[in-house]
Amino acid sequence: MSISNLAPIPELYVSHESAQKLKVEAGDLPSWDLTPRQICDLELLMNGGFNPLKGFLDEADYDSVVERMRLEDGTLWPMPVTLDVSTEFADKIEIGQDIALRDQEGVILATMTVTSRWEPDKHREAEKVFGADDLAHPAVYYLHHSAGRIYLGGPITGIQQPVHYDFRARRDTPNELRAYFRKLGWRRIVAFQTRNPLHRAHQELTFRAAKEAQANLLIHPVVGMTKPGDVDHFTRVRCYEAVLDKYPQATTTMSLLNLAMRMAGPREAVWHGLIRKNHGCTHFIVGRDHAGPGKNSAGEDFYGPYDAQELFRKHQDEIGIEMVDFRHMVYVQERAQYEPADEIEDGVTVLNISGTELRRRLAEGLEIPEWFSFPEVVSELRKTRPARSKQGFTVFFTGLSGSGKSTIANAVMVKLMEMGGRPVTLLDGDVVRKHLSSELGFSKEHRDINIRRIGYVASEITKNGGIAICAPIAPYSATRRGVREMIEAYGAFCEVHVATPLEECEKRDRKGLYKLAREGKIKEFTGISDPYEAPETPELAVDTTGLDVDNCAQQVILKLEQMGLIAGR
C-alpha cells in the first residue's frame, strides 16, 4: 500500500542571507529576461517540483530525454525543460560563465552556470516528444515560433520565488504541501490535475477516486500556462473554490500549480505524475486523453485516448505514484445521482452535457441545469463568458494594398455602430502606421512588429467587450495566426480575406504605389517584390472585383451574425 514519507525534498534556493548577497553580485552578470513559460519552469525547478533536476537540461540530458525519456544517468524524466534563448544572447555567453535570470520586471530570480550551449534539432524534438512535427500541436507551434534558436543548460542557484499577486494563500511549494499533509496526518493522497472548470461529474469522480484509494484528495489545478483558449485561471480558481465547499471538509484540499503545460499527452501524464510525487502525493488520477492537445492538422487526435494511461501504468513503480483510473461519471435521471458510466444497466435515462454543448449554452446564454453544475460555477462562467452576442470580438481584414480592405472595414464599422451595443474601433493600416508604428518600414521584421501591435490593441479591445476592426495587409500567415491566438483568448476572431486579385489592385492603383513599385522606386512592395501568403481557411473571403462595397460589407455582417456575434433585437 503506497504511503507517502513526506520528508522534505531538495530545493535549489540558497539561504536568505546568501540570496541577498548573491542578488547584488548577480547585478553585474549578463542577464536573460525569462519568458512566461521559463518563469513557470524555473519556479518548479527551484522549489523541487521538478526534482531531481538541478537546473535547465544540458545537451547530454536533453538528447537523452528526447530520445528515451530518461536523463543521461537513466532516471525517468519525460519532458525537456530547456532554457531557449536568442542567438544574439547565446553568442555573448561563454561556457562556465554565470548568468542572471530575471523576471519580466527585471527582478533577479536565480543565477545559472552555463555548462552547455547548443542549437537543438527542433524537428526531432517535435517528433520524439510530441509525436509529430505538426504546427497544430500548441507545443510544436511554440517550439518553432516562440522558442529561441539556442538552448543553454546548467545548474541553477535559486534566489527568490517568482512573485504572484493572485491567490497567494492557495499556492504551495512541494515542501509546503508536504508539511501540510504531515500536519494533518494525511499519508495517502490522491491528486487531481485539471485545467478546466469542475462540474458535478468531476466532483463525484474525484471524491469516489479518493474513497476507493482510501485516501485524501488534493485538487491540483494548473494555473501556469495551459492550452490556448482555455478558461482563464482567475475564473477557474473562483469556480474551484466554490466546488471545494461541496466536499466533506476534512477530506479534501486545493493547491495551485504554476506549471507550464505542454499538452504532450502520454509523456505529459508521466511528467505530471513525477511532479505530484514531488508534492507528496501517492496517487494520481489519469483520464481519457490526459493533457491532449486536440486535433492534428489532418483533423485526427494526436494521441490514442488511452495512450497516457498505458504509458503511466508502465512506469508507475518508477514514478513512485499509483495511477487511479478516471471513472467517467454520468447522471442517472431516475435515481437523481451520478454513477460510473460502465456500471449502469440498460433502460435508465442517462444525462450528459458535453464540453462543446456547455460552451454552446454559455455562448448563447442558455440554461445550464443544476444536475450538471453548481450554480456558483455557472454564475462565474457566465461573468467571464457572457453570451457571444455580448462579448468583444475582432474582425481582421487582410489583403493586398488597394484590395478594398479599408473601404469595406469602414462600411462594416458604420453598420456596427448603427446597430449599437458595443464600442467599435477601426485600426486601419494607414492609421496604425501613423499613430502606432510610425518608425517602422516594410521589412518582414517590421511588418511583423506592426501586426503584433495591432493584434495587441485588438486583443485589449476584445477583452474589454469592444469590437476591433483591423485592416492591415498582414502578409504572413504565422503572424496572423499569432494574432488570432492572442484574440481568441478573449473573444471571437473573424478573419476576412479581401481576395481581390493583384491585377485588379494594380489596375486601380489609387495611390500610384504599384506604378512606383514596378519602376523599382518602392522596394519590398507586397505582391510585386514582397510576398503575400493568402489565408487558407479565413472565416470569409471576398473579392471586390465587380462587387460594390455595400455588398461586401453585408457579407461580413452576415458572417458575424452566423458566428453568433450579433444578436437579433
**Is residue 27 a known part of a binding site?**
no
DSSP 126: I
Q: What is the DSSP string of 34-72?
A: --HHHHHHHHHHHTTTTTT--EE--HHHHHHHHHHSB-T
Can residue 447 be called a binding residue for ligand PPS (CB under 6 A)?
yes
| Residue 118 vs 476, nearer CB to ligand PPS | 476
Single out the segment in contact with ligand PPS by CB under 6 A; choices: 69-77, 79-87, 350-358, 519-527.
519-527
Can residue 535 be called a binding residue for ligand PPS (CB under 6 A)?
no
**Is residue 354 a known part of a binding site?**
no
Residues 496-515, mask of contacts with ligand PPS (x by CB under 6 A): ---------------x-x--
Binding residues for ligand PPS, how many (CB under 6 A)? 21
Q: Which residues contact 218 (CB under 8 A, 6 or more apart)?
A: 177, 189, 190, 191, 192, 252, 253, 254, 255, 276, 279, 281
The DSSP bridge partners found for residue 118 are 151
**Is residue 399 a known part of a binding site?**
yes
**Is residue 4 a known part of a binding site?**
no
Q: Which of 4, 157, 253, 526 binds ligand PPS (CB under 6 A)?
A: 526
- Locate cell 530520445: which residue? 67
Task: Give the Cα separation of 191 and 206 in Å (integer).
Answer: 9
Can residue 22 be called a binding residue for ligand PPS (CB under 6 A)?
no
Q: Which of 312, 338, 374, 442 binds ligand PPS (CB under 6 A)?
A: 442
Q: Which of 450, 459, 500, 544 binds ligand PPS (CB under 6 A)?
A: 450
Determine the residue with CB nearest ligand PPS: 429
Q: How many C-beta atoms surround the C-beta of residue 434 within 10 A?
A: 10
| Residue 391 vs 401, nearer CB to ligand PPS | 401
| Residue 120 vs 475, nearer CB to ligand PPS | 475
The question of whether 278 is a catalytic residue gets the answer no
| Residue 174 vs 472, nearer CB to ligand PPS | 472
| Stretch 293-352 residues interacting with ligand PPS (CB under 6 A) | none
Active-site position among 82, 194, 253, 479: 194
**Is residue 546 a known part of a binding site?**
no
Task: Give the Cα separation of 422 and 443 in Å (integer).
Answer: 35
Q: Residue 515 in contact with residue 528, Cβ under 8 Å?
A: no
CB of 452 to ligand PPS, least distance (A): 10
Q: Which of 430, 445, 503, 548 binds ligand PPS (CB under 6 A)?
A: 430
What long-range pairs does 92-100 form, CB within 8 A, spacing at least 24?
A: 92/30, 93/30, 93/117, 93/152, 97/30, 98/26, 98/29, 99/29, 99/30, 99/31, 99/32, 99/152, 100/26, 100/27, 100/29, 100/30, 100/31, 100/32
Active-site position among 196, 296, 384, 545: 196
| Residue 242 vs 505, nearer CB to ligand PPS | 505
| Residue 313 vs 484, nearer CB to ligand PPS | 484
Residue 560 has, within 13 A of its CA and on its CB side, a CA count of 29
* Percentages of the chain per state (helix, strand, coil), in multiples of 5: 40, 20, 40
Single out the segment in contact with ligand PPS by CB under 6 A; choices: 138-146, 214-222, 326-334, 442-450.
442-450
Q: Kindly state the helix (H) or strand (E) to which residue 498 belongs, with its residue range.
A: strand 492-498
Strand blocks (E) in 159-310: 189-194, 216-221, 252-254, 283-286
Can residue 493 be called a binding residue for ligand PPS (CB under 6 A)?
no
Task: Give the Cα separation of 251 and 271 in Å (integer).
Answer: 26
Q: Kindly state the helix (H) or strand (E) to which residue 426 belongs, with its residue range.
A: strand 424-428
**Is residue 402 a known part of a binding site?**
yes
Measuring CA to CA, which residue among 439, 453, 444 is closest to residue 483?
A: 453
Residues 357-396, mask of contacts with ligand PPS (x by CB under 6 A): ----------------------------------------
Can residue 402 be called a binding residue for ligand PPS (CB under 6 A)?
yes
| Stretch 49-88 residues interacting with ligand PPS (CB under 6 A) | none
Active-site position among 117, 178, 188, 195: 195
The question of whether 195 is a catalytic residue gets the answer yes
Q: Is 29 exposed, middle or buried (0-12, 13-18, 19+ CB in 10 A)?
A: middle
**Is residue 406 a known part of a binding site?**
yes
497 by DSSP, 3-state: which?
strand
Q: How many C-beta atoms surround the C-beta of residue 170 within 10 A?
A: 17
Task: Give the Cα separation of 195 and 225 in Å (integer).
Answer: 9
**Is residue 403 a known part of a binding site?**
yes
Task: Give the Cα separation of 291 and 194 in Å (integer).
Answer: 9
CB of 394 to ligand PPS, least distance (A): 15
| Residue 308 vs 451, nearer CB to ligand PPS | 451
Single out the segment in contact with ligand PPS by CB under 6 A; choices: 73-81, 142-150, 193-201, 470-478.
470-478
Residues with catalytic roles: 194-196
Positions at the binding site for ATP: 399-406
Q: Which residues contact ligand PPS by CB under 6 A?
A: 401-402, 406, 429-430, 433, 442, 447, 450-451, 472-475, 511, 513, 522, 524-526, 530
Positions at the binding site: 399-406
